[in-house]
Chain A
């Protein structure tokens, strides 16, 4: 038996508190190096982003920068925000609404301090999973269209 009834309740309460504290500590440990921060090309130019760490890069796809490699599935383009430019390499099928001059969020990491290697591209207006960082622009766009207003 886990002690007398009075002690048992105490043991259970302590266990519950330990569980909750454990969850908080575990989450803090996990978040330390696993949260992907959102950076703009200007942030990258200022050296805020650490190479090799999962992050998101957001900005506009520079006009005329999109180029496909000979393999037909690797795409190179430049993300810019008016202040700085970051070249991006992506291997895969681009989202349908990926366009030059349009907003984009690339998930991946910086290799060296120059190039961004993306594992996933989220394009603005992509209604599947629009990154929240681009959501405000979308909201303004929608508001202009809504019948109500």
Chain B
């Protein structure tokens, strides 16, 4: 019954979103006063989606093998946490999670954005209902998570062992909150363009949503990068895989929107541009969903191999994007002219930021889709990887980093103070590091050297906006900005350090042999068999020392029986100065084992920086929320 209850809730939610869409159209056209009804419908629709999702969790928790999805993706012998996480470790379940977040976003918009003019809010809720309707149709017609299996399977087929990892429990929900949170920015932009009310109030209503989604995207990308780093055993933290780009593209667009919405909120300028970006942000979320969920790319993320699904998502994408762009084309001209601004000012800096982010987004977008286009048009098979993305996006990112050091020091409206003098110290630090890098590490690439120099300048520069302020009186949003920018500098330092200083040792070892990697002496003690709840493994024992104490690392090769697969489990020792990363491979006839060792100084700064960026976003969100609350309290 649980599965049927979930399915019924989904059908009802779909019907309610259709009704909500209908009523909101009548309301906006002034035919009917349906303000409360539309808001109520949005809330109930969100709760129904949540109910359906909880029902899916229940059937997975019970391993109900009469549900096709459970039988195909779970197994009764799986640890409980992976039974739960398995609910979204497959196509149908993850799309249900997507729709649930979409529904709950609509509900939250109905509850929290009441300060907006009624026509804008109801039009936005109508847009959100239209989005929900399309994705409900996709779920119910092409990806039913609650389909029954008759007769029930005797045992489930198990979950891809690579997905049996604690990271999986958080990575998809985090990214989805980011992806789908952007739907609110899309709906608000559509609503405001329909109602013709694009102003500072709209920007203030949109900003928390963009910030929230952006924080989740930042954390999701950071966590996904770390997951790929330790789970794949390749020692890399970003592979420019289309699936990774699918999450990077909405992040780039959201980063641009975050800054332009600040200009709209503070200066009532960049109206049309901000609306355009809001549309592009959610478009990128849908492109990402299409790339990942259509099965057009094969990776650990693509569960679906059913071509109708890809076509369905593509059709939805086409309808929504075309409608939004047509609306933009019709309405952009009628938007009132934004406030004028000076050439040297915070808002001009943000325009340059937006332009750079747009170009980066453009080259990543083209590089990611080019292989699909080329194959469709010429039939030629090709792939685009790191050489392309590093060459075209790397230099732009460096430019963006330089701007990031300068921009926050400029004031709104017009800057007359000698800002460059403040930057003397960071500029000196950057120049010194650049000279050292050129002299000491000639083998590093130009991009790596520039990255090291940029990090050296950006870290001190990002704190400058806080200097000379009373730390207790400084608004939280300013703290957030400084910490997020600091995080960017820290992450760049980690990326450049990983590229410049990593040392690698690849060898075949007999037990008892010792190797050098960077400053470390690593002794291979031998291998032993070990077993886990649903796997067996060969585990190597490595003893690493660097003068002082000894660290023991135990990399494994794991064998899973359901489904039969092998995986490499890297063993990583994290120290303040970096990470020692070890992988064990196969044995040969002479009893030697392949070992791959990396010493990666400062590599953890990459993810620490990412977390700082997220923390900065969170502080800014809290700051804006507090200010909005006070404004209401004193109003």
Task: Please list the residues of chain A having a beta carbon within 8 angstroms of any beta carbon in chain B.
Answer: 1-2, 4-6, 8-9, 12, 15-16, 19-20, 22-24, 26-31, 34-38, 54, 56, 68, 71-73, 91-94, 96-97, 127-135, 138-139, 142-143, 145-148
Contact B383–A36 (Cβ < 8 Å): yes
Does B100 reach chain A (CB closer than 8 Å)? no
B392 on the A face (CB < 8 A): yes
**B239 nearest CB neighbor, chain A only:** A129
The answer to whether B586 and A23 touch across the interface, beta carbons within 8 angstroms, is no
| Smallest beta-carbon distance A106→chain B, Å | 12
Is the Cβ of A35 less than 8 Å from the Cβ of B298?
Answer: no
Which A residues lie within 8 Å of B157 (CB)? 145, 147
Binary interface encoding of chain B residues 266-280 relative to chain A, with 1 for a CB under 8 A from any of its CBs, else 0? 000010010000000
Q: Do B388 and A9 touch across chains, with their CB atoms under 8 A apart?
A: no
Q: Is residue B366 within 8 Å, beta carbon to beta carbon, of the partner chain? A: yes
**Contact status B366-A34, CB under 8 Å:** no
With A1-B343, A30-B391, A56-B383 as contacts: A23 and B366 at CB distance below 8 Å: yes
Task: With both chains docked as a complex, state the minimum distance between the C-beta of A52 and any C-beta of chain B, in angstroms.
Answer: 13
Task: Give, as a whole number of angstroms, the nearest-CB distance from B144 to chain A.
Answer: 12
User: Chain A contacts of B149 at CB under 8 A?
Assistant: 147-148
Q: Are B341 and A16 in contact (CB under 8 A)?
A: no
Do B342 and A2 have beta carbons less than 8 Å apart? yes
Tell me if B44 counts as interface (CB < 8 A to partner A).
no
> Could you list 29 A-B pairs, sorted by A, with CB under 8 Å?
A2-B342, A8-B340, A9-B338, A16-B358, A19-B355, A22-B362, A23-B359, A26-B359, A27-B367, A27-B392, A31-B384, A38-B381, A54-B387, A56-B382, A72-B509, A72-B588, A93-B586, A96-B557, A96-B567, A128-B300, A129-B300, A130-B298, A130-B299, A135-B305, A139-B305, A143-B305, A146-B72, A147-B153, A148-B68
Contact indicator A127/B160 (Cβ below 8 Å): yes
User: In this complex, what residue of B is CB-closest to A140?
Assistant: B305
Rounded to whole angstroms, the CA-CA distance of A36 and B389 in the bound complex is 12
Q: Does B568 contact A (CB under 8 A)?
A: yes
The reply on B330 being an interface residue by CB < 8 A is no
Do A20 and B343 touch (CB < 8 A)?
A: no
A148 closest partner in B (C-beta): B68
Closest CB in chain A relative to B205 CB, distance in Å: 23
A residues in contact with B160, CB < 8 Å = 127
Q: Chain B residues near A147: list those with CB within 8 A.
A: 68, 71-72, 149, 153, 157
B370 within 8 Å of A (CB atoms): yes
Question: Closest CB-CB distance, A45 to chain B, in whole Å?
Answer: 17
Which residues of B, 57-110, contact A by the 8 Å Cβ criterion? Answer: 68, 71-72
Q: Most chain-A CB neighbours within 10 Å: which of B160, B270, B381? A: B381
Residues on B with C-beta less than 8 A from A30 are 363, 367, 388, 391-392
Q: Does chain A have a CB within 8 A of B585? A: yes
**Seed contacts A34-B388, A96-B566, A129-B232; 16 additional CB < 8 Å A-B pairs:** A2-B341, A5-B338, A6-B337, A19-B358, A30-B391, A31-B370, A35-B383, A37-B380, A37-B381, A68-B588, A72-B594, A93-B596, A97-B565, A128-B299, A129-B300, A138-B298
**Residues in A whose Cβ lies below 8 Å from that of B588:** 68, 72
A5 touches B363 (CB 8 A): no
A2-B341, A35-B370, A73-B506 known; A93-B298 Cβ under 8 A: no
Q: Given the complex, which residues of B lie within 8 Å of A6, measured CB to CB?
A: 337
- Report if B29 contacts A (CB, 8 A): no
Q: Residue-by-residue, is B319-363 near A (CB-CB < 8 Å gives 1, otherwise 0)?
A: 000000000000000000110111100001001000100111111
Q: How many residues of B contact A (CB 8 A)?
A: 68
Q: Which residues of chain A come closer than 8 Å to B557, judged between CB atoms?
A: 96
Contact with B351, one of A15, A23, A91, A142 (Cβ below 8 angstroms):
A15
CA distance A33 to B32 in the complex (A): 60
Any A CB within 8 A of the CB of B162? yes
A residues less than 8 Å from B371 (CB atoms): 35
Query: Contacts A8-B340, A24-B362 given: A15-B568 contact, CB under 8 Å?
Result: no
- Residue of chain A at shortest CB distance from B242: A132
- Taking CB atoms, residues of chain B closer than 8 Å to A97 are 565-566
> Given contacts A20-B362, A22-B359, A127-B160, are A34 and B384 in contact (CB under 8 A)?
yes
Digitize B539-583: 1 where CB-to-A-CB distance is under 8 Å, 0 elsewhere.
Answer: 000000000000000000100000001111000000000000001
- In the bound complex, how far is the Cα of B536 from the Cα of A29, in angstroms? 49
Chain B residues near A142: list those with CB within 8 A. 305
Quick one: CB contact mask for B288-314 with A, threshold 8 Å, 1 for yes?
A: 000000011111100001000000000
Whether A23 lies near B507 (C-beta < 8 A) is no
Q: B241 within 8 Å of A by Cβ? A: yes
Contact at A93–B391, with CB atoms within 8 Å?
no
* Smallest beta-carbon distance A33→chain B, Å: 9
- Residue B194 at the chain A interface, CB threshold 8 Å: no
Residues of B within 8 A of A135 (CB): 298, 305
Cβ of B422 < 8 Å from any Cβ of A? no
- B270 CB contacts on chain A under 8 angstroms: 12
Whose C-beta in chain A lies nearest to the C-beta of B384? A35
B391 CB contacts on chain A under 8 angstroms: 30, 34
Cβ contact within 8 Å between B351 and A12: yes
Assembled-state Cα–Cα distance A134/B298 (Å):
9
Report B-chain residues with C-beta under 8 Å of the C-beta of A128: 162, 232, 299-300
Are A27 and B366 in touch, CB under 8 angstroms?
yes
With contact pairs A31-B384, A129-B299, A132-B297 given, residues A20 and B506 touching in the complex (Cβ less than 8 Å):
no
**Given the complex, which residues of B lie within 8 Å of A36, measured CB to CB?**
382-385, 387
Bound form: Cα–Cα A38–B384 in Å? 11
The reply to whether A72 and B363 form a contact with Cβ atoms under 8 Å apart is no
Measured CB to CB, the nearest residue on chain A to B71 is A147
Tell me, yes or no, whether B447 is within 8 Å of chain A by CB. no
A12 to B300, CA, bound (A): 42
Give chain B residues whose Cβ lies under 8 Å from the Cβ of A54. 385, 387
B92 to chain A minimum Cβ distance, whole angstroms, is 12
Q: Which 5 A-B pairs have the closest CB atoms?
A: A72-B508, A23-B362, A96-B566, A93-B585, A38-B381
B592 within 8 A of A: yes
Contacting residues, chain A, for B340 (C-beta < 8 A): 1-2, 4-5, 8
User: Using Cβ atoms and an 8 Å threshold, which residues of chain B touch A23?
Assistant: 358-363, 366
What distance in Å separates the Cβ of A60 from its nearest Cβ neighbour in chain B?
Answer: 17
Q: Which residues of B contact A28 (CB under 8 A)?
A: 366
Nearest CB on B from A64, distance (A): 15
Q: How does the 8 Å CB contact mask read for B6-42 relative to A, with 1 for contact and 0 for none?
A: 0000000000000000000000000000000000000
Q: A127-B565, A148-B68 are in contact. Are A92 and B300 (CB under 8 A)?
A: no
B300 to A127, Cβ gap below 8 A? yes
* Given A1-B343, A27-B367, A148-B68, A35 contacting B300 (CB threshold 8 A): no
In the bound assembly, the distance between CA atoms of A25 and B20 in angstroms comes to: 44
Please tell me if the beta carbons of A31 and B305 are within 8 angstroms of each other in the complex: no
Once A2-B341, A24-B362, A35-B384 are accepted as A-B contacts, the answer to whether A93 and B568 lie under 8 Å apart by CB is yes
A93 to B160, CA, bound (A): 22
Q: Is the CB of B341 within 8 A of A12?
A: no
Tell whether, in the assembled complex, residue B392 and residue A26 are in contact, meaning their CB atoms are under 8 Å apart.
Answer: yes
A31 to B567, CA, bound (A): 34
